[in-house]
Chains A and B, each alone.
Chain A
Amino acid sequence: MAIIERPVSLEVQPLIVVAPATPSSAMGAVKRPVVTKGWRQWVFTVDHKKLGLMYMATAMFFFLVGGIEAVLIRLQLALPDGKILNADLYNQMFTMHATTMVFLFVMPMAAGFANYFIPLQIGARDVAFPRINAFGFWALLFGGLFINLSWFLGGAADGGWFMYAPNSGPIFSPSHGVDFWTFGLQIAGIASLTGAINLIVTVLNMRAPGMKLMRMPIFTWMILVVQFLLAFAVPVITVALFLLSFQRNFGATFFDVAAGADPLLWQHLFWIFGHPEVYILILPSFGIISEVLPVFSRKPLFGYPFVVFSGAAIGFVGWGVWAHHMFASGLGPVSVAVFSISTMAIAVPTGVKIVNWTLTLWGGKLWFTTAMKFSIGLIVLFTIGGLSGVTHAVAPSDTQQTDTYYIVAHFHYVLFGGAVLGLFSGFYYWWPKMFGKMLNEKLGTWNFWFMVVGMNLTFGPMHILGLQGQPRRMYQWTENRAGEGFFNLGFWNLIASIGSLVLVVGVFLFLVNIYITARNGKVAPLDPWGARSLEWMTSNPPKEHNFDSIPTVHHLDEFFHRKYAEDANGQMQQVATAEQVLKQLEDNADAHIHMPSPSYWPIILAFGLPVTCLGLIYSIPLAIFGGLIILMGTFGWALEPSTAPDSDFDPPSSGDTSKDVVHVG
């Protein structure tokens, strides 16, 4: 459905629209696609909801890939002198595990949620630049596949996800793995940048009438902060990756010590990106649970402005802490002291969030759905990660902890206990919205407990391992350094490995739940959770145009306030059902709703990127060919008509065209 024409009621005067002067086809041949059935509805779509789902499916795929890598790592380390992987393969494995989980799972999953729910939460019908949105998705997918292609072409990157120079140089990493890694991340970075600009413009310009910034749902706020972080952080890693690519492929010497380079340059560039990246990973989940906790506590988020401003504060202070990743690199006491203090400072706004979530529960009327369980799990487990973070904000203490398993424990509590649990909370909370069916709550509870127990068994012992001096990134550990007694490394390594299998069961239960739900899940009621924000003020799943009429916003938690009002005694009483609220919107449906047409060009343009990069690694003519694809994609994009002509649509009755008539009343 690209265009919805409603029977015009007599009272409404049709606006006189001057058609923009665009050609009816790009390059004289290619029109806009109109099919809404089959694979083409996905491949050429520009619909933010479809793209959101595609982002999520892609991220879920890479989550499984990264999970397999993680399990291989843990199997290797379960016993001393592990033999499952050799040193080379192990180094590739931990590099790709981190790369996959950070860039190809958490980021795209958050992007998927953002894509799907930002327009819905702000009462918009799509994002500001739908075709760029589609391009971003395809670039991410192709970038992710490109990085993983290296497994089949001589080995993946083996320098760690931080890829420190000079170990990443051509001498020390002679396979093409690092080349695939740099170019693949470069492509994924383009996706992040375009996505960031798109969402910033969308949030700032396309909010429903009455939705002031301080009435925006907190998830939208956190995503907005993340997009600003992306917009400024990704260019830094882009520069670093370009320097590395030129060193590896064209003989540049940016990190060549013999030529006078300083390898610390890479570290600064990487962490100026890398630390904000941490907040890019965690803030979306903060946003998700800030939606979920109020809904299932039946009261608003405690201290909404504090959560907003602490999120924004994290977005600013997050730029001033990067060197805490380099406390051992010999920066000198002044830098170390300053970054130590700034790192402690960022703990304050983070702590504010913990306090607010906890006080949101306080005095509430708590309903322990699976989504709620994951959110409460996040509060506790993220707190553990945050507190261990404070112990290495203390720089001298960090020099004992950095590059040991204590750090691995810390960031897994932050990223698994924080980011991942938040995303799972989002799955359970928004599944009925996205698919119109309820995920099985019973299975969800099992899923939750297996994941929480699994993650504590896996990452909890790593605190001990690290404090007992086991460094990271070792393909084997030895009995010689394991010690005896309660804290011996052997026992806790084994526990961690067993825990990872429990975690696998947890994730597997989620997949089972998806399958069962898809087969015969309960059809979701319109408002299964008693939700508070705009994305629930439409059908499940939402119509392509999201809202029949754009609601006018009077409150934070607008949907709740349309359903409930205070009675004379100050008690909240239901005044309308969700169905009634929705009916009201439908009754006032807009007469003309023009949705963007699908387009061929985003996927073509995005496809040119990996072809070019493959050419840069293996043969320049191929790169030129890829460049031509990009050029063609750009021209096609620029010259194509803004919409398909009416004559391209089949009659409405056939039902499989992009033009449809909505029958109201």
Chain B
Amino acid sequence: MNHIESTSDAVPQVHMLGRVMRRLKPMVLGAAGTVFLASCASNAPQDTWVPKGPNAQKIDSLQKPVFAVAGIIGVIVAVVVTYSVIKFRDRGQPIPKQSHGNPALEITLTIIPALILAVVGVFTFRTVFDLNKTSDTQMIINVTGQQWWWEYDYPANNEYGITQPIITSGQLVIPVGTKVMLRQTSRDVIHSYWIPALNGKRDAVPGRITINRLEADEPGIYAGQCTEFCGLSHANMRMEAVALSKEDFAKWVSNQLKTYAAPAENTLAKEGETVFLNQCTRCHQVNGLTRADGTPVIAAPDENVWSGAAPNLSHLMSRNTFAGAMFNLVTPECRTDVWKSESLTFGAKYLAGVDEPCLNQTDLRGWLRNAPAMKPMYANPALLAATGGKYRGMPNLGLSESDIEKLVAYLLTLK
């Protein structure tokens, strides 16, 4: 008897729910439509719903249906609640039967979400292991975070013509259609490497090496941002991944390996080299730079900066950004020209580098004049007791305007 009672009790309720769900159909489709629409719009450069490579694509294919299911369930709950609120409001009806529930219905409504989640779980499981596969890696780049910029170190790799290691910063350059493995670590606090169009994020943890994988389908620039809170200028620790066709990548590599060409004598740039030698080489390396007596200059950032590193400025003008990708090295017009170019012409434009008309003089000069005023950093010598006087970030060098003039001329030669 009990059994029969409980079923008959359940039927009208389930039936009503079913009716509500049928009425819901257009709304559900509407919700799904919104989800679809949102996925089409490519708005902010860090949009997480516009995959541009297989890793991000795998994530996207997994998450879109989850969003859709979640959206549908959300709408169902909202509608059932709204329906109850309208239908069962106090119209003077008698006090309802004091029923303590309906276990059969309850168990059903527990099992259904459990089953949905089980299905989601299976696909999640598969994707997690899929994304963590490393056996088919084609290229390795070491990525090191520090406050507040990223260093990219390309180990020698004959297949890509990297005959000796390349060290760069500001922009990660990779060949398209290549499974790139980033071996990440940090020199100070935890940072996180994230290029949304290419993959999810992965932390760079000091004392550990974490593995991240990127692969881009098409040439282009893909924006990213440090996503693990890393102190004062966390907001300004950005990254850009530049994907070049294989031929263009080979050109980029050969440019990075080009030997140092000192500026011609009696030019402003040559005077700038002297300023650079006096002021900048304490921290910043330019490969191949020699002193007047011919000895090679080896920067010693470890003596001046807590993280022990400063961006290597060799071939600075081959990059579009500086200061941890906070500022553009190119003017807004030139930047738009590169960012918005078709993938066929992108490579050539990017490889052209930065020349004088395109140089963002305002920000670069501002930076040379007083870096900590442009980007919050721990660079006030009075406040560095804890680090024994070492800076976190770049200090104000107190350069004269003529020094800045010379330095800019010199930096422009670092093609």
Chain A: residues with CB nearer than 8 A to chain B?
86-88, 91, 158-160, 164, 166-167, 170-174, 257, 260-264, 297-306, 328-330, 332-333, 336-337, 340-341, 344-345, 347-348, 351-352, 354-356, 358-359, 361-368, 376, 379-380, 383-384, 387-388, 390-391, 393-404, 406, 466-477, 480-489, 556-557, 560, 564, 566, 570-572
Q: Does B90 contact A (CB under 8 A)?
A: yes
Per a CB cutoff under 8 Å, which of B103, B120, B128, B192 touches A337? B128
For A171, list chain B residues within 8 Å (CB): 306, 386-387
Residue of A nearest to B192 (CB): A328
Q: Are A172 and B188 in contact (CB under 8 A)?
A: yes
Q: Are B43 and A468 in contact (CB under 8 A)?
A: yes
Residue of A nearest to B234 (CB): A473
Interchain CA distance A298-B89 in the complex, whole Å: 11
Interface residues of B in 161-212 (CB under 8 A from A): 188-190, 192, 194, 196, 199-203, 205-208, 210-211
Q: Are A166 and B189 in contact (CB under 8 A)?
A: yes
Q: Are B120 and A164 in contact (CB under 8 A)?
A: no
Q: Does B253 contact A (CB under 8 A)?
A: no
Q: Are B233 and A87 in contact (CB under 8 A)?
A: yes
Q: Please count the residue pairs between chain A and chain B whose beta carbons lie under 8 angstroms apart in the complex.
A: 325
Residue of A nearest to B195 (CB): A469
Q: Does B261 contact A (CB under 8 A)?
A: no
Q: Are A474 and B235 in contact (CB under 8 A)?
A: yes
Residue of B nearest to A400 (CB): B48
For B85, list chain A residues within 8 Å (CB): 361, 366, 368, 376
Q: Does B99 contact A (CB under 8 A)?
A: yes
Q: Are A395 and B229 in contact (CB under 8 A)?
A: no
Q: Are A87 and B232 in contact (CB under 8 A)?
A: yes
Q: Are B59 and A365 in contact (CB under 8 A)?
A: no
From A332, A355, A566, residue with most partner B Cβ within 10 Å: A355
Q: Are B207 and A263 in contact (CB under 8 A)?
A: yes
Q: Are B47 and A358 in contact (CB under 8 A)?
A: no
Q: Are A358 and B84 in contact (CB under 8 A)?
A: yes
Interchain CA distance A489-B223 in the complex, whole Å: 15
Given known contacts A171-B386, A348-B117, is B202 in contact with A328 (CB within 8 Å)?
yes
Given known contacts A86-B376, A388-B70, A469-B196, is B96 in contact with A330 (CB within 8 Å)?
no
Q: Are B84 and A167 in contact (CB under 8 A)?
A: no
Residue of A nearest to B86 (CB): A366
For B235, list chain A residues within 8 Å (CB): 87, 473-477
Per a CB cutoff under 8 Å, which of A86, A167, A358, A402 touches B190? A167
Q: Are A391 and B66 in contact (CB under 8 A)?
A: yes
Per a CB cutoff under 8 Å, which of A367, A401, A483 touches B48? A401
For B93, list chain A residues within 8 Å (CB): 365
Q: Are B43 and A340 in contact (CB under 8 A)?
A: no
Q: Does B98 contact A (CB under 8 A)?
A: yes
Residue of A nearest to B74 (CB): A387
- Looking at B21-29, B107-115, B149-157, B400-408, the stretch in contact with chain A turns out to be B107-115
Q: Are B385 and A348 in contact (CB under 8 A)?
A: no
User: Could you jot down 22 A-B contacts, CB within 8 Å?
Assistant: A91-B232, A166-B190, A171-B306, A172-B392, A298-B96, A340-B125, A344-B117, A351-B109, A352-B109, A359-B102, A361-B85, A365-B93, A380-B78, A387-B70, A396-B58, A399-B199, A401-B48, A467-B48, A469-B223, A475-B234, A480-B328, A481-B238
Please tell me the number of chain B residues within 8 Å of chain A, measured between CB atoms.
97
Chain B: residues with CB nearer than 8 A to chain A?
13, 38, 41-49, 56, 58-59, 62-63, 66-67, 70-71, 73-74, 77-78, 80-81, 84-85, 88-90, 93-103, 105-106, 109-110, 113-114, 117, 120-121, 124-125, 127-129, 131-132, 188-190, 192, 194, 196, 199-203, 205-208, 210-211, 223, 225-236, 238, 306, 328, 376, 383, 385-387, 392
Interchain CA distance A332-B129 in the complex, whole Å: 9
For A393, list chain B residues within 8 Å (CB): 124
Q: Are A396 and B63 in contact (CB under 8 A)?
A: yes
Q: Which 10 A-B pairs have the closest CB atoms?
A: A399-B200, A469-B46, A330-B210, A483-B44, A474-B235, A303-B101, A483-B43, A397-B63, A87-B376, A487-B43
For B210, list chain A residues within 8 Å (CB): 329-330
Interchain CA distance A301-B100 in the complex, whole Å: 7
Per a CB cutoff under 8 Å, which of A300, A359, A383, A472 touches B74? A383
Q: Are B113 and A396 in contact (CB under 8 A)?
A: no
From A158, A471, A481, residue with most partner B Cβ within 10 Å: A471
Interchain CA distance A352-B205 in the complex, whole Å: 39
Q: Are A395 and B128 in contact (CB under 8 A)?
A: yes
Residue of A nearest to B385 (CB): A174
Q: Are A361 and B81 in contact (CB under 8 A)?
A: yes
